[in-house]
Amino acid sequence: MKQRFNKIRVVLVNTSHPGNIGAAARALKNMGLSRLYLVAPKDFPADRAVWRAANAVDVLDQAVVVESLDEAIAGCGLVVGTSARDRRIPWPLLNPRECGEKLWHEAEVHDVAIVFGREDRGLKNEELHKCTYHVHIPSNPDYSSLNLAAAVQVLTYEVRMAALADSEKPRDQLLGGDWDVPPARVEELELYYAHLEQTLVDLGFHDRDNPRQTMPRLRRLFGRIRLDAMELSIMRGVLTGIQNAARRLAVFSASEKSGGEESASEKSSAKKPAGVEAPKDSES
Ligand code: SAH
């Protein structure tokens, strides 16, 4: 059990108050967790953090301080983002119980992370878009935002409850242990999204200066599928194939314009791909 707890990371992004970091460390230790990641904390190390950690200073001492969220979640196969309020694009949402179960079960196969936001502004949209799921503690809608360390306490408690129950519920097929290939890691997925975006730019489908919500929506789509490492590598190959074909087409139409000597049949089959247009998205 302890080994599996060690595969669960709690990530605090850009925390302002060191007291919250200390109180979060205490919450982790109470629930049997120990891996605290701090992304660019405003004031750490700090006496106030040590004071609020009480006897959980070992968790504080082992806390990993990094500069970016990407570093904190590198190597993970599942990332869950916390949110105190609704966001513009709804994302697959877990309640705290489902979140505890998911983190616990997936920690059997890979590292998992749960990410908490800033005291004043929570997580930014682009940070939430790196997460496969979001979790919301169903608090009073008129006063929904918990203190950061209190939110850490609630969600780590649910992980502990899932561990204690270790229910016999049927597992996710992809992650149930029978799958032939491991799930893709977050950093492989980030490379895939960068490749996908570049391919869409090459095709003239996507404009980086006017991106609308295309990439968040595609991230959400692939997050629902949960690609395994082999599927992801096939998709990378498909993208490279598309990019090569687009380049050949561009060279061909350039030579056609400059009066090249292609045959009539080549000319007719070398039209620009039709109907490849970005959808109008009112949320841009
Ligand atoms: N004013 C911020 C709230 C930040 S609260 C906002 O509007 O987003 C600080 C952090 O505590 C949040 O980023 C989240 O990680 C966690 N948190 C607070 N209330 C929560 C809730 N009801 N559900 C899930 N996480 C919550």
Q: Identify the pLDDT of residue 211.
A: 95
Per the model's pLDDT, the better-predicted residue between 53 and 86 turns out to be 53
Report whether pLDDT(266) > 70: no
Q: Identify the pLDDT of residue 187.
A: 96
Q: Do 193 and 53 sit in the same domain of this protein?
A: no
69 lines ligand 1 (CB under 6 A): no
36 lines ligand 1 (CB under 6 A): no
Condensed to tens digits (0 to 9), the pLDDT of residues 196-246 reads 999 999 999 999 999 999 999 999 999 999 999 999 999 999 999 999 999
Residues of the chain with pLDDT > 90, as a percent, come to 79
Q: In angstroms, what is the span from residue 263 Cα to ligand 1's centroid?
A: 63
Q: Identify the pLDDT of residue 258.
A: 83
282 pLDDT band, cuts 50/70/90, is very low
Q: Do 153 and 247 sit in the same domain of this protein?
A: no
Judge whether 102 lies within some domain.
yes
Q: Do 190 and 156 sit in the same domain of this protein?
A: no
Final residue of a structural domain among 113, 134, 165: 165
Phi, psi at residue 78, to the nearest 5°?
A: -145, 135
Judge whether 241 lies within some domain.
yes
From the alpha carbon of 117, which atom of ligand 1 is closest?
A: 13
- pTM for the full predicted model: 0.87
284 pLDDT band, cuts 50/70/90, is very low
25 and 36 Cβ atoms separated by less than 8 Å? yes
Residue of the CA atom closest to atom 5 of ligand 1? 119
81 lines ligand 1 (CB under 6 A): no
Q: In angstroms, what is the span from residue 156 Cα to ligand 1's centroid?
A: 15
* 3-class SS string, the chain: CHHHHCCEEEEEECCCCHHHHHHHHHHHHHCCCCEEEEECCCCCCCHHHHHHHHHHHHHHHCCEEECCHHHHHCCEEEEEEECCCCCCCCCCEECHHHHHHHHHHHCCCCEEEEEECECCCECCHHHHCCCCEEECCCCCCCCCCCCHHHHHHHHHHHHHHHHHHCCCCCCCCCCCCCCCCCECCHHHHHHHHHHHHHHHHHCCCCCCCCCCCHHHHHHHHHHHHCCEHHHHHHHHHHHHHHHHHHHHHHHHHHHHHCCCCCCHHHHHHCCCCCCCCCCCCCCC
Give the C-alpha distances (Å, rounded to integers) separating 50 from 59, 249, 251.
Answer: 10, 62, 63
How many domains does the structure of the chain reveal? 2
Q: Identify the pLDDT of residue 170.
A: 58
Judge whether 172 lies within some domain.
no
One-letter amino acid at 86 equals: D
Judge whether 77 lies within some domain.
yes
124 lines ligand 1 (CB under 6 A): no
Q: Identify the pLDDT of residue 46.
A: 97
Mean pLDDT on 96-125: 96
Q: Identify the pLDDT of residue 134.
A: 97
Report whether pLDDT(59) > 90: yes
Q: In angstroms, what is the span from residue 15 Cα to ligand 1's centroid?
A: 12
Condensed to tens digits (0 to 9), the pLDDT of residues 126-182 reads 999 999 999 999 999 999 999 999 999 999 999 999 999 985 665 666 665 678 898
Q: Identify the pLDDT of residue 265.
A: 44
Report whether pLDDT(276) > 60: no
Q: Identify the pLDDT of residue 179.
A: 84
Angle, alpha carbons 265-269-272 (nearest 5°)? 145
Q: Do 58 and 153 sit in the same domain of this protein?
A: yes
Q: Do 111 and 237 sit in the same domain of this protein?
A: no
Q: In angstroms, what is the span from residue 244 Cα to ligand 1's centroid?
A: 45
151 lines ligand 1 (CB under 6 A): yes
Per the model's pLDDT, the better-predicted residue between 253 and 17 turns out to be 17
Q: Which domain holds residue 82?
A: 2-165
Condensed to tens digits (0 to 9), the pLDDT of residues 3-36 reads 999 999 999 999 999 999 999 999 999 999 999 9
Q: Do 125 and 240 sit in the same domain of this protein?
A: no
Per the model's pLDDT, the better-predicted residue between 278 and 21 turns out to be 21
Q: Give the CATH number of the domain where residue 71 resides.
A: 3.40.1280.10
Judge whether 133 lies within some domain.
yes
Judge whether 180 lies within some domain.
no
Residue of the CA atom closest to atom 4 of ligand 1? 122
Q: Do 261 and 123 sit in the same domain of this protein?
A: no
CA 185 to chain CA mean position, Å: 10
Longest dimension (CA), the chain: 80
34 and 139 Cβ atoms separated by less than 8 Å? no
Final residue of a structural domain among 117, 134, 165: 165
Supply the mean pLDDT for the chain: 90
Q: In angstroms, what is the span from residue 240 Cα to ligand 1's centroid?
A: 40
Q: Do 23 and 59 sit in the same domain of this protein?
A: yes
Q: Give the CATH number of the domain where residue 246 resides.
A: 1.10.8.590
Q: Which of 51, 52, 40, 50 is nearest to 16 (CA)?
A: 40
Q: Do 224 and 157 sit in the same domain of this protein?
A: no
Judge whether 281 lies within some domain.
no
Q: How many CB atoms lie within 10 A of CB 233?
A: 15
Q: Do 80 and 123 sit in the same domain of this protein?
A: yes
Q: Identify the pLDDT of residue 49.
A: 98
Q: In angstroms, what is the span from residue 124 Cα to ligand 1's centroid?
A: 11
69 and 187 Cβ atoms separated by less than 8 Å? no
Q: Identify the pLDDT of residue 101.
A: 96
Q: Do 190 and 148 sit in the same domain of this protein?
A: no
Token reading at 219? 């991230």
Q: Identify the pLDDT of residue 168.
A: 60
Q: In angstroms, what is the span from residue 146 Cα to ligand 1's centroid?
A: 6
Residue of the CA atom closest to atom 3 of ligand 1? 122
Q: Do 13 and 74 sit in the same domain of this protein?
A: yes
Q: Identify the pLDDT of residue 178.
A: 75
Mean pLDDT on 272-276: 44
